[in-house]
Amino acid sequence: MNTTAHSYRTGLKRALIETRNTLTSPSDLMGMLLPMLICVAVLYFLRGVDIEGAPISLGAMNMPSLIGMNIVFGGIVTMVSALVMDRVSGTLLRAKSMPGGMTGYLIGHLGSTAMFLSFTTLVLLVVGLPLFDGLEFATPDRWLLFLAVLAIGLVAVLPLGAVLGSLINDLKNMSLVIFPVIASVAVSGIFYKITALPEWLQWIGQALPMYWMGLGMRQALLPDSMAAVEIGGEWRTLTMFAVLALWAVISMALAPRLLRRMSRRESGSAVAARRQLVQQQWG
């Protein structure tokens, strides 16, 4: 039996079971969906706000951006918190104690996070489409682009989350990752157009994956004429895929080494020490 192929297969099974476990845990499900649905509700009140010279409302324009943001934000935060929490609970050490366990664990988490994010993306799409006038999702070219952006987004963001998660050894340092991700929303043109920002902030935004995920989703869902609002007055489809692919390549190059380092440091006493720290910090 090929042991590598076997541990990948086991990982995929793990992904399916993890996804089922999450989808049947109301707290997990609501923790992920509720913030997004609140955002949708806010956008709903903006459906009457017109944008100068545009055929659609501010709410409709922000809906695709929100879907893009959900993939980046959800992908990074879910991976980081899984890796950090699983080191406190010993889930990672358990994986280390089994043959092929670390491979199975990682494939399982990447897979289940991808499935869970696809599920929440679908929920946002199904909720958003009927709520906002002007979204276009009737033709196969739009479906394909939507799926392609979702796919490249997952491939870029999940390894990035794994990299960041492997660097954080302590629950209380999780904010070091979460806050920058939240801050990146502000410079990524999610809730207002990026061209309203000073140019240097636009450059920061364009270096990060969130801007491009928002752009890709807007192209997939908004009328073509809305490209006029974007930087350069066009969708920049190729650049969008190229930047996201670059993020994917960099993260995937870094991830194995960092994850191995993280795994090497796991032991029973490391887990016990971490748990004690958590108890001190949170009473």
CB of 119 to another protein, least distance (A): 16
Among 59, 68, 75, 86, binds another protein (CB under 8 A): 86
Q: Rounded to whole angstroms, how far apart are CA atoms 192 and 159?
A: 28
Structure tokens at 172: 């209380």
3-state DSSP assignment of residue 230: coil
Q: Are 83 and 259 in contact (CB under 8 A)?
A: no
Q: Are 93 and 172 in contact (CB under 8 A)?
A: no
Among 25, 175, 225, 281, binds another protein (CB under 8 A): 25
- Token look-up 């020490």 returns 273
Stretch that binds another protein, among 14-22, 62-70, 175-183, 236-244 (CB under 8 A): 14-22
Q: Exposed, middle or buried, 226 (CB in 10 Å: 0-12/13-18/19+)?
A: buried
Binding-residue total with another protein (CB under 8 A): 33
Judged by CB under 8 A, does residue 29 bind another protein?
no
* Smaller CB separation from another protein, 10 or 219: 10
DSSP state of 132: S
Among 59, 75, 90, 205, binds another protein (CB under 8 A): 90
CB of 5 to another protein, least distance (A): 10
Stretch that binds another protein, among 41-49, 56-64, 133-141, 265-273 (CB under 8 A): 265-273
What are residue 50's phi and psi, to 5 degrees? -85, 150
The candidate with the shortest Cα–Cα distance to 70, out of 112, 133, 125, is: 125
Among 33, 93, 127, 167, binds another protein (CB under 8 A): 93
By the criterion CB under 8 A, which residues form the site for another protein?
Answer: 1, 3, 6-7, 10, 13-14, 17, 21-22, 25, 28, 86, 89-94, 96-101, 104, 266-269, 271-272, 275
